[in-house]
Amino acid sequence: MKTLHVKPKGDFAFATDKIASDKSISHRCAIFSLLSDQPSLIQNYLLAEDTLCTLKIVEALGVTIQTHEEKGVFTITPPIKVGEPPLILDCGNSGTAMRLLMGFLATCEGFFVLHGDKYLASRPMRRVADPLRSIGAHIDGRNDGNFAPLGIRGEKLNAFHYESKIASAQVKSALILAALQANGISTFCEPELSRDHSERMLRGMGAKVISEGLHVSIYPQEKPLQPLNIRVPSDPSSGFFFAVAAAIHEGCMVTLHNMLLNPTRIEAYKVLARMGAEVSFIEKESQYESVGDIVIKGKSLQGVEVSENISWLIDELPALSIAFACAKGKSVVKNAEELRVKESDRISSVVKNLRLCHIEVQEFADGYEVEGGMLQSATINSFGDHRIAMSFAIAGTKTAMCIEDIECINTSFPNFIELLSQIGNIEL
């Protein structure tokens, strides 16, 4: 188990185009390449544990992956027909990989077993298994199909109208993938718009996926889709750690280049702006998605309430909690019960670790309340969760922190520590 020591380094103006590539889009690139009959060209694919698992899985299903000289550039050639792999498909730590693949494999001829690490094996899967089973899918697993390992036998599925109770892009994407092979037009409805990369990318590939507010209509795919030709932008959820670093240091500045600017992904930056940080978005280009630069300048921060559009900032809440701890006054997070079923129970992980830093926190079933104050040095438990490890590493640029069990950072952001060393003193 590796430990990371981070200490403040003084004022900084830091600019980078090296933030990790977008994880959500990278997973989708690997899986969606199977929907075409021609090679997809993917540039800047995220070379982190989660998305490398997905790449290995699609390879086991029959795709051929050609690497190019430039790192992260792949040509992915789909097989004529998805093969039945002899071994289990290992999703590692990735909920996105497991849930999207459930939807895709539920329609493929053959038997498939999805598994993951001990954290993923305790995350709920019936949110995807149940709606898929209701349209004819054969899915089973521990606890009546709620926990991996999951066994899936592909079937021809019925078209559906499904109203999801949770705003989850993983549930939505799994059902869209199943609907593309169903026997009629399907509709999916969610309570709040979750990230919409699947809809945008599939439309770009020629699929008839029509979004109207919270409703998506999916027409069955009559012929193979067009291949993807995409350069994956940098991940705003990964960039957000550095945004918080700027926000908690008055007078400091961070510039993040080539970031994905999808509105469902940059809400946390807008919360930093509400707290008093200066945040600007400079849109530059658009390919499937809007992409550009984000500049964050540290100013004195005030506490805020975060209770709406939670799915637009769900992954950033742990890092945002560090900004809350450094702000004047109270900050409150509500309606965020989904945090409890991520790589760790992130409500509990944030609350326990902030208390170790002598910050006053109250825990609720669906969130927490933080009274801003002076962070004290502490030894932090990552709970094996990459976002907890990186959030408290950023706190270390303000007050020395020691973070235990940091290997998990490799699931989404392998060069995080290298970038962190530009704004903090690091010892491993």
Ligand X SMILES: O=C(O)C1=C[C@@H](OP(=O)(O)O)[C@@H](O)[C@H](O)C1
289-348 residues near ligand PEP, rule: CB under 6 A: 315, 342-343
Q: Transcribe 362-428 into DSSP letters.
A: EEETTEEEEE------EEEE-TT-HHHHHHHHHHTTTS-EEEE--GGGGGT-TTHHHHHTTTEEEE-
Cα–Cα distances in angstroms (integers) from residue 79 to residues 35, 98, 199, 422, in the given order: 10, 21, 23, 44
23 is in an annotated binding site: yes
Round to whole Å and give the CA distance between 214 and 332.
Answer: 26
Question: Which parts of 162-266 fold into alpha helices (H)?
Answer: 169-179, 197-204, 236-247
Contact letters (x/-) for ligand X, 272-291, by CB under 6 A? --------------------
173 touches which of ligand X, ligand PEP, none (CB within 5 to 8 A by kind)? ligand X
CB of 318 to ligand PEP, least distance (A): 8
Q: Is residue 198 part of the contact set for ligand PEP (CB under 6 A)?
A: no
Q: Is 95 annotated as a binding residue?
A: yes
Report CA torsion sign: 217, 202, 239, 89: positive
The reply to whether 265 sits in an annotated binding site is no
- Check if the beta carbon of residue 135 is closer than 8 Å to that of residue 160: yes
- From the list ligand PEP, ligand X, none, which binds 221 (C-beta under 5 to 8 Å, kind-based)? none
Tokens of 244: 């918080």
169 binds, among ligand X, ligand PEP, none (CB under 5 to 8 A by kind): ligand X
Tell me whether residue 96 or residue 399 sits nearer to ligand PEP (CB atom).
Answer: 96
Instruction: Give the footprint of ligand PEP on residues 379-408 (CB under 6 A).
Output: 387
22 binds ligand PEP, rule: CB under 6 A: no
Whether 168 has a binding-site annotation, put simply, is yes
Q: CA nearest 40: which of 177, 172, 202, 196?
A: 202
Q: Which does 343 bind (CB under 5 to 8 A by kind): ligand X, ligand PEP, none?
A: ligand PEP
- Known binder of ligand: residue 342? yes
* Of residues 87-126, those binding ligand PEP (CB under 6 A): 94-96
- What residues between 204 and 233 interact with ligand X by CB under 6 A? none
Q: What residues line the site for ligand X (CB under 6 A)?
A: 24, 95-96, 168-170, 173, 194-195, 311, 314-315, 338
